[in-house]
Chain A
């Protein structure tokens, strides 16, 4: 028996067409008796909700997400630089600015995201819940967007409060990949909603004066809340506002020697090693190896630099650091300091940030120090005694503390 007497020459387009038809074909509606509670037609009669309000909140939220994504991506690239990426040593406080902006924008997003989700909450109870396969996919993509957006904002808040218990994953990696997920889902959402947004923001929209007042009042409330949360937290990096930072997880002047600490010597397990009189800073390079004890380090030319510790968590604080220029130590092992890369290793035996690489721009910079003193005093153990790296325009996690070894190589 021949089932297909004619070979399917046009089989592919037909299959595609059939697929497309099935994709948007209406699905049977569920029984009307299930339309209860929030699913009933008048479940959400608030006159405050409107497509125009949602669109305006959406545009603002889109801008906030773009700022967070770009500054976050930048921070990731600085910490995990691919071959093509170069991060300059100047301006000194650029990373302090971009990461401060990342966290401040994330916090200001809280009321925006809350209001945006409130304004579309009734769509969750649309009837029928699913009209077609295409509709189901669109709803699933919205669920991905909402989950990813909440993941980023809630996770970020928990991270700056350093409360990792509720997050069953490594925060940094999760925040990074879900950032891509959020931006992808956001672009899909904009693509789907563009006509509705254009229509709602157009001039021809009819809106009663009461609706306009309510909408503007709500937008004003969101702006006020964003302003308030900024005012009570941003002082953790903007020093003149530190007095107002009553809800900031850090104060720029609280900590040993007037500077906050992220990882103590005790937690790093280096207390004994750092205090050991047998301590030597080992500098190796193609031209040989030099072992320097503290007296030898202090005998080298000392330089002082005002540089910030700028944490990925959004706080920053400036210190007056004194020590040996990294470029001087590089020259000791016979490498041109203007063409060198240095691997800095801590005395820590383990830990994600035990080592960091200092690229040519930072090695060459005269402000990059192996610091021995902070504010004129020997470094506090929690600030990296006996010696720590401090360089301009660099995330705090890469300012390696308790430095035990420098491995110098010539850059190609």
Chain B
């Protein structure tokens, strides 16, 4: 309890220091800072998350359950490089007299990186399917059970339980990404 109280107290002091320091800094327009703080918060919570949940819903609708973990890794990677690269692709920060700033064709590079991510994701899914199809069916004598059943005591396929029909497809994993 003492640790928690100390953390909250020190944190509150630092917040106070930040506010007083920002107000006293002649280089800073506090209204501009407040505007940007509110802007990134609203932009993330209302716009970015809505897009992300929509992508998650599309994945839940179109990607088979067995491939979702791999596709999820691909989508997280794609989202990350896109967030970092978009200001470079737009190139508003490139001064006309300084070719050493943003010197690369970022649009093309982003497209290549996204294609590589998509290619690696598809390849991984394809390889997993190939492995699965080569394996004998679980009922065959001496055969191993399919991978999706390995971690389930009942051998029931992943993700087909718990939620009533319909809810799973339309909402169940709608926010997975």
Q: Across the interface, do B167 and A174 meet the contact criterion of CB distance under 8 Å?
A: no
Q: Are A192 and B41 in contact (CB under 8 A)?
A: no
> CA A143 – CA B112 in complex, angstroms?
37
Given A194-B7, A218-B72, A251-B103, are A45 and B41 neighbors across the interface (CB < 8 Å)?
no
Q: Per DSSP, are chain A's interface residues mostly helix, strand or loop, or mixed?
A: helix
Give the complex CA separation of A179 and B173 in angstroms: 35
Considering the complex, give the chain B residue whose CB is closest to the CB of A258. B100
Stretch among A26-34, A228-236, A362-370, A392-400 lining the B interface? A228-236
Q: Is the CB of A186 within 8 A of B11?
A: yes
Contacts of A250 in B (CB 8 A): 100-103
Q: When each residue 96-132 of chain B gets 1 if its CB lies under 8 Å from chain A and 0 otherwise, what string results?
A: 0111111110100110110001000000000000000
- Contact with B38, one of A122, A147, A255 (Cβ below 8 angstroms): A147
| A226-B10 Cα distance, complex, nearest whole Å | 31
A184 to B90 alpha-carbon distance, docked (Å): 34
A21: interface (CB < 8 Å): no
Chain A residue nearest to B52 (CB atoms) is A118
A210 interface residue (CB < 8 Å to B) = yes
Say yes or no: is A185 at the interface (Cβ < 8 Å to chain B).
yes
Provide the A145-160 mask, 1 if CB < 8 A to any CB of B, else 0: 0111011001101100
Q: Which residue of A lies closest to B175 (CB)?
A: A46
Within 8 A of B (CB), among A105-153: 107, 110-111, 114-115, 117-118, 121-122, 124, 143-144, 146-148, 150-151
Cβ contacts under 8 Å, A67 to chain B:
none
The answer to whether residues A246 and B4 also contact, given A161-B87, A169-B32, A174-B36 and a CB cut-off of 8 A, is no
List, in ascending order, chain A residues with CB within 8 A of B176's CB: 46, 48
B104: chain A residues at CB < 8 Å are: 246-248, 251
Per-residue contact bits, chain B 34-47, to A (CB 8 Å; 1 contact, 0 not): 01111111011100
User: Are A117's CB and B103's CB within 8 A?
Assistant: no
A38–chain B nearest beta-carbon distance, Å = 9
Interface contact A188-B28, CB-CB below 8 Å: no
A42 interface contact, C-beta 8 A:
yes
Question: Are A177 and B72 touching (Cβ within 8 A)?
Answer: no
A residues in contact with B22, CB < 8 Å: 173-174, 177-178, 181
Contact A151 B40, CB 8 Å, known A168-B29, A170-B28, A174-B33 = yes
Least Cβ–Cβ distance between B10 and chain A, in angstroms: 5
**Are A192's CB and B8's CB within 8 A?**
yes
B137 CB-CB contact with A under 8 Å: no
Chain B hits for A220, CB < 8 A: 73
A353 within 8 A of B: no
Task: Name the residue on B nearest A186 (C-beta).
Answer: B11
Instruction: Give the docked Cα–Cα distance between A188 and B11 (Å).
Output: 5
- With A146-B41, A147-B37, A221-B72 known to touch, is A165 a contact of B92 (CB < 8 Å)? yes
Interface window among A6-14, A260-268, A402-410: A260-268
A164 to B25 alpha-carbon distance, docked (Å):
19
A44 and B167 CA atoms in complex are apart in Å by 11
A187, A194, A250, A256 — which one has the most chain B CB atoms within 10 A of its CB? A187
Q: Given A154-B40, A170-B27, A181-B19, are A255 and B100 neighbors across the interface (CB < 8 Å)? A: yes
**CB proximity of B21 to chain A, nearest CB, Å:** 5
Bound CA–CA A254/B174 (angstroms): 45
- Check B109–A187 contact: CB distance below 8 A: no
A81 at the interface (CB under 8 A from B): no
- On whether A115 and B84 interact (CB within 8 A), knowing A187-B10, A264-B95, A382-B98, the answer reads no
Closest 5 CB pairs of A and B: A184-B14, A187-B11, A162-B93, A191-B7, A255-B100
14 A-B pairs in the complex with CB atoms less than 8 angstroms apart: A42-B167, A150-B43, A168-B29, A173-B22, A180-B15, A181-B19, A191-B3, A214-B69, A217-B69, A221-B73, A225-B73, A246-B113, A260-B100, A261-B101
